Structure 1
Amino acid sequence: MSLESDIRDLWARHEADELDAHAPETHDVLHALLDALEAGEVRAAEKRDGEWQANAWVKQGVLLNFVCHDISAYDYGGVTYNDVLPLQDTSDLGARGSRNTPDGTVVRAGAHIGADCILMSPSFVNIGAHVGDGTLVDSCDTVGSCAQIGANVKLGANTLIGGVLEPVEGAPVVVEDGVSLGAGCRVTSGFVVGANSVVGENTLLTPRIPVYDLVEEEILYGELPPERRAFQRFVESSLGEHDLIDGGAYKPAVVATGLEAETLEATQREEVLRE
């Protein structure tokens, strides 16, 4: 049987309340999934026919790891933490040209960290996440469960990449190759940031906020097209004038324009960090 069929079988037995959560063979399958995720051999979501789609069976396996393991005490830098799984062994990062600085770069089991990556402390990469080659995860960044971060991405300081673990059919947050997110950005609820886009600091990208794409002159939800420069703006709210809101009410929106040459040149400064 394949790993996928093994996970699907465990999930079916779990839903039928027939799963032996502590059986060695159950844990063997679940640990094999974690190993495959860390190696980048399987992913929680993949692009098919131009659309990002979740691999539901992978997310089922991640959830089963929480179901089938008891909470235990572990040591991390002299501090005891309690979880169902130990943190990932990152001792091999240096061999593939990646580095994680001390005092707070936390990578949970089942997360993939590619080659030539930089993880600055403090930062957190959750289970099932995929961080592509050459990507920078800056200080105070969070990469949520099953989030898909492409190659040569810059996550500015204090950036939040949300996780989508449930429902298992839901595609997680995706940041495609070559994207630069400014400090303080937040990307949530399955939003897809298109390749080679540059997003201004403190921008919130979520399907509930419209993206005004001035390149194609259309309003989008849940995605930022590739090759865009995006920034947060505020537009008039349907509340309009209100006695409690002097000057009227406004709601957030994202404006997307074409990339300018000087913007691309600015992102090249990140290469200095890797020389």
Structure 2
Amino acid sequence: MSAPKTSIDSPIDPIIDELWDRRADLTPDDADARKTIVAAVDAIDAGIARVATVAADGSVVVDERAKRAILLSFKVLPMAESAAGDFQYHDRMPLKTRFDGVRVVPGAIVRWGAHVQPGAILMPSYTNIGGYVGAGTLVDTWATVGSCAQVGSNVHLSGGVGLGGVLEPPNAVPVVIEDDAFVGSRCMVVDGARVRRGAKLGAGAILTASTHVFDANTGEEYPRGEIPERAVAVGSSRLKSFPGGEFAMPCILVLRTLAEGEIHDKLALNDVLREHGVAG
């Protein structure tokens, strides 16, 4: 995978860096520090700041200061009681309250510090602090957007998808799902793995930063932990020799690369999967 870059253009107050250096001494009694940290996380919540973005050269740029603000919030926010209807909670983090233009189905949970753009649909699901969900994206039932995971626009996260979270170390790259991607039911994308623009990942696949990704037609190996742009990919396995014998290790197979005009065509995905005997 391409190495993440650290943003030098963060919209977050640089005082966060000073607070980070003395984080061991911070407590909920530090009112000035709490005010600064809450303002920083509010900026992430509102989409003014983002934990990570994809730069013009295709690299993932991590805003280390934004992640530091999130981590510091756990130091300065006291435990508090909250409720949603009959459900009672006891936590340092409140639930998100800003959902302009977002459809939030009962049972969906979003933590403060996550940003959801107008036009997104959240079925009963979970989006953690620092997460980002783009416009027109569907987060389907029981899907999880882990801490700081970045999901682009017009993405479909199918039922039960798990996007892993990452908070420490602050400059670690989060999971990134780019615009127009489709992630099939029960897929797991973790450890800073990436699904590039328009890619389709078949049901049940597991993608980590170290997962090998192969072209099924040529045997070519792509960068580990990344589904290439517009690829139709499925989970598979390959034999690897160990002192104790040969064992099947998980990998990802790219069955086909869709043409540019096929990015939004889910029927094309289903046809490719059926052709290879894979369930959609």
- Structure 1's consecutive aligned runs of 4 or more residues displaced over 3 angstroms after TM superposition are 213-216, 239-242, 260-264
8 Å CA contact 1:180, 1:267 repeated in 2: no
Alpha-carbon contact 2:193-2:208 (below 8 Å) kept: yes
Alignment counterpart, residue 120 of structure 2, candidates 105, 117, 120:
117
2:227 aligned residue (224, 227, 245): 224
> Partner of 1:101 in structure 2?
105
Q: Within 5 Å, give how 1:51-90 maps onto structure 2.
A: 51-90=59-98
Ranges in structure 2 where 5+ consecutive residues have no aligned partner: 1-10, 270-280
SS, match of residue 42 in structure 1: coil
Partner of 1:164: 166
The answer to whether the aligner puts 1:24 opposite 2:31 as a matched pair is yes
Distance of aligned partners of 1:56 and 1:263 in 2 relative to their CA distance in 1, 3 Å threshold = closer
Q: Contact 2:12–2:65 at 8 Å: present in 1 too?
A: no
Deviation at 1:149, TM superposition (A): 0.4
Distance 1:215 1:83, change over 3 A: farther
Match of 2:7 in 1: none
Q: What SS does the aligned partner of 1:4 have?
A: coil
1:175 aligned onto 2:177: yes
Q: Shift in Å at residue 267 of structure 1? A: 5.7
Q: Give the C-alpha shift of residue 264 in structure 1.
A: 4.8
Distance 1:262 1:36, change over 3 A: closer
Question: 2:17 aligns to what SS in structure 1?
Answer: helix
Q: Which residue of 1 aligns with 2:149?
A: 147
The offset of 1:170, in angstroms, is 0.4
* Per-residue Cα deviation, 1:122-174 (whole angstroms, up to 9, x for no partner): x0000000101110000000000001000010000000000111111101000
- Please say if residues 215 and 258 of structure 1, whose CA atoms lie closer than 8 Å, have aligned partners that are also in contact: no
- Higher mean alpha-carbon deviation, 143-152 vs 78-87, is at 78-87
CA distance in 2, matches of 1:201, 1:124: 19
1:168 and 1:234, CA in 2 relative to 1: closer, same or farther beyond 3 A?
same
Contact 1:88 1:109 in 2 (8 A): yes
Instruction: Report what 1:272 is aligned to.
Output: none
Q: Is the 8 A contact 2:12 2:49 kept in 1?
A: no
**1:227-268 alpha-carbon deviations (Å, 9 max, x no partner):** 1111011211324985xxxxx631111011312687853269
Which secondary structure does the structure 2 equivalent of 1:249 belong to?
A: strand
- Residue 89 of structure 2 aligns to a residue whose secondary structure is strand
Q: Which residue of the other structure, out of 248, 251, 262, is the alignment partner of 2:249?
A: 251
Q: How many Å separate the matches in 2 of 1:31 and 1:161?
A: 25
Q: Unpaired runs of 5+ in structure 1?
A: 243-247, 270-275
User: Any idea what the Cα deviations from partners look like across 1:18-76, whole Å, max 9, x if unmatched?
Assistant: x4542222121122112211211100112233210221111110000111112222112
Partner residue of 2:40?
33
- The equivalent residue for 2:265 is 265
- Matched residue SS, 2:73: helix
What is the distance in 2 between the residues matched to 1:177 and 1:113?
14
Distance 2:34 2:262 in 1: 52
Q: 2: distance between equivalents of 1:268 and 1:151?
A: 20
Distance 1:10-1:268 versus aligned 2 partners, 3 A rule: farther
Could you state the TM-score of these two structures normalised by the residue count of structure 1? 0.85
Contact kept, 8 Å, 1:148 with 1:175, in 2: the verdict is yes
TM, length-normalised to structure 2: 0.84
2:243 is the alignment partner of 1:234? no
Contact preservation (8 Å) 2:174, 2:193: yes
